[in-house]
Amino acid sequence: MKLHCHRPSLIAAFQIVDGVVPSRTPKEILKNVKLEVADGVATLIGTDSEVGIRYDIPGVESDAPGETLLPSKRVISILRELTDESVDLEITDEAICIRSGHSEFRLSAEDPSEFPSVSAFGEDAYHAVSGGALKNMIRRTVFATDNESTRYALGGVLLNLEADKITLAATDSRRLAVISAACRKEGESADANASPVIPAKAMSLIERSITEEDEDVRITIHANDALVKCGHSTVYCRLVEGRFPKYSDVIPRESSVSIDLVVGPFYAAVRQAQIVTNEESRGVDFTFNDGTLSLSSVAADIGQSTIELPIAYDGNELTILFDPRYIADFLRIFEPEQQVRLDLIDGESAAVFRTDDSYTYVIMPLSKDR
C-alpha cells in the first residue's frame, strides 16, 4: 500500500493520538499507533486498553486499502524533522518506508491484527455540547482530580447529563471544581449511566481533540464505557469504578464575606507567597483587612515573606490558612483581567471562588495547628 498525505495534517493527528499511547506498558504493541486506510481516509488508532482514540484524516491519496502499525514516538520525531509539505508512506509486510523531500526512513513492520480495536462513533442517541464550552469545562475541572487516590472515584471527572444541561465536577477531597453549561439531547434511548465518572486521562484527551470550538461534541454513555465524538476524533474510555462523593454537600450555601479579586495581581501575589514554603510548611495566611490582602508565610530553614495586595474590602479582619498551590491551580486557567469572587464564612470553613459563568471552586483551609 502506498499513501500520500499532507505532512502538517499527519503530524497534528499523531500528536493528538499519541496522548493516549503509554510510554511504559507490559504490552509492547500498545506503544504503536494503528494506521487504517480506506476510501480516501486515513485513520490513526491509539489505546492503552482503558482509553482509546480514533482520528480520521480525510483527503489522503492511496493506491489500495490497508493497515499497519507505526511506532508512535519515532514517527512523530521523523515528521517533526521533515520540512516538505507532503509525505509518502509505502507499506509492505516487512517494512514501512517514509519519504519526504530528500529524506527516507525504513522502519520494521509489525502485525496489526493483534492491536486492540477502538469503537467508531455510530450512535443515534447522544448529548451534544458546544466544543468551546466543553473544552473550557474540562480545563476548569480536570486539574482537581487525584490520580493517586484509591478512595471513591477521585481519579476522574463526574459528568452529569440532563436533558438541557451538562455538569462536570472533580475533587481530590481538598478542593472541588464544578461547572455547568447548556447541552441538548438527541434520540430517545434511556441513558445507561446519567452520572458517569470519566478518567482524567480521557478528559484531557478530549480537550486536546477539540480543534473546532464552534462545532458540537457528541457524548454517548453506556453502562461501562463512554464514546465522545469531536471533529475528526472519537475518544473511547472505560468508566471509573467507585462512588463519586456527593459534592453538592460541601458547597457552602451562605457566606459572611464576598470579595471581588482581579486574577492577574492576585495570581502574582500567590506565586510570590509560594516561594517561602516547603513540604513541612505549605500553609500561607491570607489576611483580609481594611482594603488590603496580606499573604504571610514562614518556613523553617528558609525564612518568611509578606506580600500585600490592595483590594476592595472594608470588613472586619479575617485570616484563613490556605495551601497556595490549590489557589494557583485555579487562577492559572484564567486571563489576567478576569474577575473572580471569593466567598468566605470564617477562618475555619470552606472558601468558595465563583465566576459569572456557572463555575464554582471550593477549597478547604488548612488547620491552624499544623
Nearest to 42 by CA among 64, 21, 59: 59
Domain ranges of the chain: 2-114, 126-247, 251-363
Do 102 and 190 meet the contact criterion of CB atoms below 8 Å apart? no
For the chain, what is the radius of gyration of the CA atoms? 24
Check: CATH 1.10.40.50 for 126-247? no
Do 84 and 48 meet the contact criterion of CB atoms below 8 Å apart? no
Residue 91 burial (10 A CB sphere; 0-12, 13-18, 19+) = buried
Q: So what's the pLDDT on residue 306?
A: 95
Of the ranges 105-119, 148-162, 228-242, which one carries the lowest mean pLDDT score?
A: 148-162
Between β-strands 165-171 and 175-182, what pairing exists: parallel, antiparallel or unpaired?
antiparallel
Q: What's this model's pTM, rounded to 2 decimal places? A: 0.92
The stretch 245-254 carries a mean pLDDT of: 91
* Residues in a beta bridge with 108: 95
The CA distance from 277 to 273, in Å, is: 8
Of the ranges 145-149, 224-228, 366-370, which one carries the lowest mean pLDDT score?
A: 366-370
All cell numbers assigned to 340: 473572580
The CA distance from 134 to 126, in Å, is: 15
Q: Which position has the grid cell 469572587?
A: 341
**Dihedrals φ, ψ of 21, to 5°?**
-75, 120
Q: So what's the pLDDT on residue 24?
A: 87
Q: So what's the pLDDT on residue 190?
A: 57
Helix (H, G, I), strand (E, B) or coil at 340: strand
pLDDT tens across 54-99, in order? 999 999 999 999 999 999 999 999 999 999 999 999 999 889 999 9
**Dihedrals φ, ψ of 206, to 5°?**
-60, -45
Identify the CATH assignment for 251-363 out of 3.40.630.30, 3.10.150.10, 3.30.479.30, 3.40.50.1370.
3.10.150.10
The CA distance from 156 to 63, in Å, is: 43
Dihedral through CA 141, CA 143, CA 148, CA 154, nearest 10?
A: -10
The H or E element spanning position 145 is none
Helix (H, G, I), strand (E, B) or coil at 76: helix
Q: So what's the pLDDT on residue 150?
A: 65
Helix (H, G, I), strand (E, B) or coil at 341: strand
Name which CATH class applies to 2-114: alpha beta
Do 126-247 and 2-114 have the same topology in CATH? yes
Residue type at position 186: E
Q: So what's the pLDDT on residue 239?
A: 94
Q: Which position has the grid cell 495581581?
A: 265
The H or E element spanning position 257 is strand 257-262
Q: Which position has the grid cell 491484527?
A: 113
* Statement: residue 370 has pLDDT above 60: no
Kindly give, in sequence order, each residue whose CB lies less than 8 Å from that of residue 94, ignoring residues fewer than 6 positions away. Answer: 108, 109
pLDDT band for position 369 (cuts 50, 70, 90): low
Q: So what's the pLDDT on residue 189?
A: 65
pLDDT tens across 143-176, in order? 999 977 766 789 999 999 998 999 999 999 999 9
Q: Which residues of 179-208 are buried (b: 16+ CB within 10 A; e: fewer)?
A: bbbebeeeeeeebeeeebbbbbbbbbbbbb
Q: Which residues of 231-245 are buried (b: 16+ CB within 10 A; e: fewer)?
A: bbbbbbbbbbeeebb
Q: Which residues of 54-75 are buried (b: 16+ CB within 10 A; e: fewer)?
A: bbbbeebebeeebbbbbbbeeb
